[in-house]
Structure 1
């Protein structure tokens, strides 16, 4: 079994004397959506010290400003990323009508065409509940969404009593939400289309609005949202793109282009590839045999492979309402270059949404005697109608198993042997086989990860068994561990 590895790509530990305005836009905004009542101004956000931590502090107050009854702050990161893991360590305010949130949103794509990932949001009148959500649609300003709530575990006080880590892991197959290492909610493609649009981090406290209603006589001001750190990671180790130049950063090197197939640089202000991935995208159009092909990619027989690509139709050169198609395919070959069969399908047609990148995937199993695969795209124009399709960020990956949460010895089942691994390494910062929540230390939270998944196996079947309890000495350590928070 191969455990997913994460490489840090961007972070703010809020250790500087003031907010890094190179990394963050600190908004001045009078009017917001959702019937909110606050005026966002930069003066409501600052670096503060609390309990030995240097934090970003967002303060909401009941001081009127320009017709608004309340003041607060909202920060948006200048860094954007598609996919990966995002972590926010924070202590949230809890009082009626207060709505703190940590979330992801595309910077330049009309909402909600590129999706919205709400890592954590909290209605202040429900002190023991936080929630996570995902919004999407192909119509601007109208959202479909799914959400999950997470209640504070037994014995824990309200969320505002301490710092907690809120996280999301986002890839092509799922969006998984975590609180203190517990995966409490997951969005899968059968529930909603998974966005592939790069997103920025947003941190804010809204006042009033539909989420928790408006403040009343019980609401406490000022209240503070303290953020200890924000970190972004990309997955490494078990996801390798087998294709050459899949983001077309090196023009079209490694690819065969035929017909009307052109390399265009990303140009947000012009009529070219607009925003996207890497430096370039490929434009396919016209009645000629317009194809994009990469040949002779090595594969292993009986292994499963996923070919993915992002496609886009721009409204100024759209195929909407036409019979034009873009097909994606992969064809396997043996050692004598004999074709062993292919997989393929339509990934863009006249019905898809314009002006946003859409992820498309194709999965196939290589025949046992396969040694290579060709992958490609073909633009089909049956009626000489206009329009073009853009292709970007193409990848071919071999499907590899990811370790079960709590399976600390990687034998495919979460059992008593994994408890022993955790017990033997408790407190370690170097032997991290049992670091179930990935915080760099073996602690009580890793026991909870193991406990919550006990009996699970790689087949997805749980066993009806009793969960071992830690010994008395470890129970004392666990009690201390609940209060311990490690900073890198």
Structure 2
């Protein structure tokens, strides 16, 4: 696999970063704010940054739909919905879900992703915020689950996936953990990608660290070799979340903002 060295901010811009929605970078203890999305558009989300996730055959995307009712902008927030399929009689899927991703549009390497959101709950609900490699395949390129919530839980799962964890089935170091949330309010979810670790947070509290280790096993820490794009999706059902109770639908997630902070000590001079 070709090694991808994390880029400088200038080269990230050349690689497809869209800066029109960025504020002036400000130095913070968590890094330098280099990109943010506050969903201030009217009518629809900014298509320079986001695309609707197409339907697939996996549990997480087999109900994805581009139906307009599943997407909304409300009071400066992006709304993604999950509902029983009464909208598209030509579609045989029993449920429809909305999701967006920043693939080919917004992607970063080392730094900190943050998402502030409020999640409605239902039996069979599976909202998620996660990262996939812009320039690699799954699972070898890695997957970072910043937030996954199931059903009516008052906690979220935060997990890493790779060839090492998924194909080889190795869970040492421990690949994930959980974090408590306010189930009825807004919470902030974050992950930091460092050359030697991934660090997860819920509401500024550190919940889990996944370190890079010395091992002769393949693919333990691919996260240093790739840039990653973000997925935001309101999923329903599947083998993990379980049966969906249609009577508890529709449900929605409200996404207040997304931010990315870069780490200068890793990116300066890179190319």
Query: Which of these residues, 84, 108, 112, is aligned with residue 85 of structure 1?
Result: 112
Tell me: CA distance 1:96–1:186, structure 2 relative to 1, closer, same or farther (3 Å): same
Alignment partner of 1:39 is 2:64: yes
**Are residues 1:135 and 2:164 paired?**
no
Query: CA-to-partner distance for each residue in 1:404-427, whole Å, 9 max, x for gaps?
Result: xxxxxxxxxxxxxxxxxxxxxxxx
Cα distance in structure 2, aligned partners of 1:234 and 1:220: 40
Give unmatched runs, 5+ long, in structure 2: 1-27, 215-219
Aligned partner of residue 20 in structure 1, secondary structure = coil
Pick from 185, 197, 213 the counterpart of residue 242 of structure 2: 213
1:59: which partner in 2? 81
TM-score normalised per structure 2: 0.76
Question: 1: CA distance between counterparts of 2:185 and 2:29?
Answer: 29
Bigger radius of gyration, 1 or 2?
Answer: 1
Match of 1:185 among 191, 203, 208: 208
TM-score calculated relative to the size of structure 1 = 0.44
2:22 matched residue in structure 1: none
| Aligned with residue 117 of structure 1, among 115, 137, 144 | 144
Runs ≥4 residues deviating over 6 A: none
1:60-459 matched pairs, under 5 angstroms: 60-64=82-86, 65=88, 66-77=91-102, 78-126=105-153, 128-137=154-163, 142=167, 144=169, 146-152=175-181, 158-159=182-183, 161-190=184-213, 192-196=220-224, 197-216=226-245, 220-236=248-264, 238=265, 246-247=270-271
1:190 is displaced (CA, Å) by 2.9
Classify 1:94/1:240 alpha carbon distance in 2 versus 1 (closer, same or farther; 3 Å). closer
| Paired position in structure 2 for 1:21 | 47
Aligned in 2, Cα 1:181/1:138: closer, same or farther, shift over 3 Å?
closer
How much is the aligned-residue C-alpha RMSD, in angstroms? 2.5
**1:27–1:239 Cα change, 3 Å:** closer
Q: Distance in 1 between matches of 2:192 and 2:53?
A: 27
CA drift of 1:94 comes to 1.3
Aligned to 1:409: none
In structure 2, what is the Cα distance between the partners aligned to 1:173 and 1:134?
14
What's the counterpart of residue 36 of structure 2?
11
Residues 143-186 of structure 1: per-residue CA shift (max 9 Å, x gap): 8562211234xxxxx52x11111011111111110000000111
Q: Structure 1 residue 233: deviation in Å? A: 1.2
Aligned to 1:114, what secondary structure does the other structure show?
coil
Relative contact order: is structure 1 or structure 2 higher (C-alpha 8 Å, sep ≥ 6)? Answer: 2
Answer whether contact 1:167 1:178 (CA < 8 A) is retained. Answer: yes
